[in-house]
A and B are shown apart, each in its own frame.
Chain A
Amino acid sequence: MAQVSIRKIHKVYDGDVQAVKGIDLEIADHEFVVLVGPSGCGKSTTLRMIAGLEEISSGDILIGNRVVNDVPPRNRDIAMVFQNYALYPHLSVFDNMAFGLKLRKFSRAEIKRRVDEAARILDIASLLDRKPKALSGGQRQRVAMGRAIVRNPLVFLFDEPLSNLDAKLRVQMRTEIKLVHQKVNTTTVYVTHDQVEAMTLADRVVVMNQGIIEQVGPPQELYHHPKTRFVAGFIGSPAMNFLPCHVVQHGDGLAARVDETIVLSIPAARRDRYMPFKDKAMTVGLRPEHMTEIRANGKPGLERIDVRVDVVEPMGMETMVHFMVGRDAMCARIDPNTPAKANAMLPLQADMNNMHLIDPDSGRVV
């Protein structure tokens, strides 16, 4: 097991397409790091560069203090799990898992010991004689993980491993991947476009966008303290609401003036922080769970907004309501017992204590 260092990595395709634009990342030993971002953000390219499947245009990649820029994949001591599993169709489950060990000339007894051990961890001991075609999607995924585990590599690389599974199996396999990591505790780099996967699995999440790293941090930190509008909007489901506003003087303090009727007071504690942005066009970010039905707890910083509801989505333990403020679509998460109807007015309260103020020019949360 080992740490992975990525230093000023660039990847340029065909002379001018910049897939990865000079990223830096330190991954500690035993850490589970998830690279997340929309399609084309460079996360898969980064993973493939760590694996050695893509050449690096410039920069350095170190696995366990060794620069591996020009080391072929087989000598990097890594294992990778692919989106479509990439099991060898003509080999049995046992032989699929043993393939890498046989090439590395392990003894037959050692191969059997390792495969049996991995099969036990993944609960696929009864499938060892089967061919991949006789396995379900979830079983194939486990075999693909088994093939990685038996090698006992320095680093595990996962390239969107759950994307081909149905929703229910995906949740189940997500838990299993986390369990396996807790058991084998190998440094892991995991790529996904699904922010829920990223949040649930990662020790640290790396949010990528257009070839750069937007923010790195533990899931909770990213959720509660996003540094950019992109991270604020990408992490969390449903996504954060964004309301264009002007920061104005309001009595002793400040307020975010959305339009003539909606003026939201900014808590006094944030007054000094937001003062430099007075009289500027800014954006207020509020997560759906911070826009609720009126709750009579009289806490300071709660602002009332009356909205006309467009769509009501009952989810069971909560209800989502969608509505427009000006020309911006918004979403609120309310108590399921609140009477909410489409096309009816609904009073909501915005918890400004959890607001984010975003500078639309730089896209940074201030």
Chain B
Amino acid sequence: MCAMSTAVAEPGAVPIRDRSMRRERRWALWGSYIALTVFAFIFLIPPIYTVITSLKTSTEISSRQGSPWLVQNPVLDNFLELAADAHFQAFFWNSIKITVVVVILSMVISILAAFALARMRFWGSAALATGVFLTYLVPESLLFIPMFQIVGSLGLMNSTWCLVLLYPTLTVPFCTWIMIGYFSSIPKELDEAALIDGASYLQMLVKIFIPVAMPGIIAATIFAFTVSWGQFLYPLAFLFSSDQMVLTVGIVTELIRGASAGDHLRIPHGLLHFRPDRRCHQGLTGVNKKLENRQGRTPWPRFRSARSTRSMTAMCRR
């Protein structure tokens, strides 16, 4: 009221409340900028350092002269040599092969599982959904001992393909959980409308659920990719020979040009995260603005609390 009367009494004057709110907002912005800059700086130093190092010659790397942050004679020799290296090529091919298969497998399993758990009400579906997520909480360092026996008994030891069996144990639970949340946020009337329109459950999934839940699917895909591309422990434990090895372990155990290899390792990651970033965030935060706007109201409950969203974002970053 006070602010209002001030504004009325003196045309053109900024009301007191407005002024303080604007100041508060400015402070908050400044705080955010400073905190984010510090974070970005800390997190970017190691990758920048590896990029710089990868552009140096071996002599320059071992030289104690000059600043390690500057490149005197930038060369691409390291990259070219690596690209021609038979070991590296084998690792890269193995990594790509495994990742593609694991991502496809994980997404098919988790989309089908999530659809069943979120939509086809059956006895114990809620308990099963929780159970699926609980399996994700068991650390892989505990799992790999019994896994060793299973993989051994299947005769898959020291075979790249054993990873196709192992990685989904990490990706499927979490992807299923993301997709359950996403599918649950789709209003029930949409599947009822599809049922009446003549759709079968499979048609409903393919024609309605998958397109509507695309941000969630992209988020889950990125997660599955990140896990299978960057996984270190399982290949270290289950693979021994260089022809079966994948990039993560191969570059630190068998190649000396770690820096540029590391950069190679990151390229697909970077490419993947670059474009669908916005939709990935939508998928992870569950803030499906598009869906809300499409329906013109917010009839669906948010499916995750802020806290769990944070933990999911952290996990996805892994």
Q: Which residues of A contact B (CB under 8 A)?
A: 51-53, 72-74, 78-80, 82-90, 99-100, 103-104, 131-133, 135-137, 140, 147, 151, 164
Contacts and interface: CB of A to CB of B under 8 A. Distances in A.
Contact of A86 (B193, B200, B207, B296): B193
Nearest to B203: A103
Contacts of A85: 295
Given A51-B196, A82-B189, 8 more contacts: A53-B192, A87-B193, A88-B194, A99-B197, A100-B197, A131-B294, A132-B294, A132-B296
B212 interface: yes
A80 B295 contact: no
A74 B211 contact: no
B294 A133 contact: yes
A164 B297 contact: yes
Nearest to A79: B196
A95 B290 CA distance: 18
B189 A74 contact: no
A72 B193 contact: no
Nearest to B190: A86
B67 interface: no
14 contacts: A72-B195, A73-B195, A73-B196, A74-B196, A78-B196, A80-B192, A87-B295, A88-B194, A88-B212, A89-B212, A99-B207, A100-B197, A133-B295, A140-B296
Interface residues of B, number: 26
A328 to B, nearest CB: 39
Contacts of A136: 296
A88 B190 contact: yes
Interface in B199-238: 199-200, 203, 207-208, 211-212, 214
A281 B30 CA distance: 76
A84 B198 contact: no
B120 to A, nearest CB: 14
Chain B interface SS verdict (over half):
helix
B243 to A, nearest CB: 45
A348 to B, nearest CB: 44
A104 B189 contact: no
B241 interface: no
B195 A74 contact: yes
A84 B291 CA distance: 13
A83 B189 CA distance: 9
Given A89-B290, A132-B294, A84 B187 contact: yes
Nearest to A83: B189
Contacts of B5: none
A153 to B, nearest CB: 9
A89 B192 contact: no
Interface of B: 187, 189-190, 192-200, 203, 207-208, 211-212, 214, 290-291, 293-297, 299
B197 A103 contact: yes
Contacts of A79: 196
Contact of A80 (B187, B196, B293): B196
Nearest to A104: B198
Contacts of B197: 74, 99-100, 103, 147, 151
Given A103-B198, A164-B297, A86 B203 contact: no
A84 B293 contact: no
Closest 3 CB pairs of A and B: A89-B294, A100-B197, A86-B189
B231 to A, nearest CB: 33
Contacts of B208: 88
B192 A86 contact: yes
Contacts of B200: 74
Nearest to B288: A89
A330 B315 CA distance: 64
Contacts of B207: 99
Contacts of B211: 90
Contacts of A90: 211-212, 214
A127 B192 CA distance: 24
B193 A80 contact: yes
Nearest to A105: B198
A133 B192 contact: no
Contacts of A164: 297
Contacts of B296: 132-133, 135-137, 140
A136 B295 CA distance: 10
B85 to A, nearest CB: 46
Interface-central residue, B193, B293, B299, by most chain A CB under 10 Å:
B193
Contact of B290 (A82, A100, A133, A135): A133
A90 B293 CA distance: 12
Contacts of A89: 212, 290-291, 294-295
Nearest to B193: A86
A53 B208 CA distance: 18
A306 B190 CA distance: 57
Contacts of A74: 195-200
A80 B192 CA distance: 9
Given A132-B295, A140-B296, A100 B198 contact: yes
A140 B297 CA distance: 12
A98 to B, nearest CB: 10
A45 B274 CA distance: 48
B111 to A, nearest CB: 16
Interface-central residue, B187, B195, B197, B290, by most chain A CB under 10 Å:
B197
A151 B290 CA distance: 28
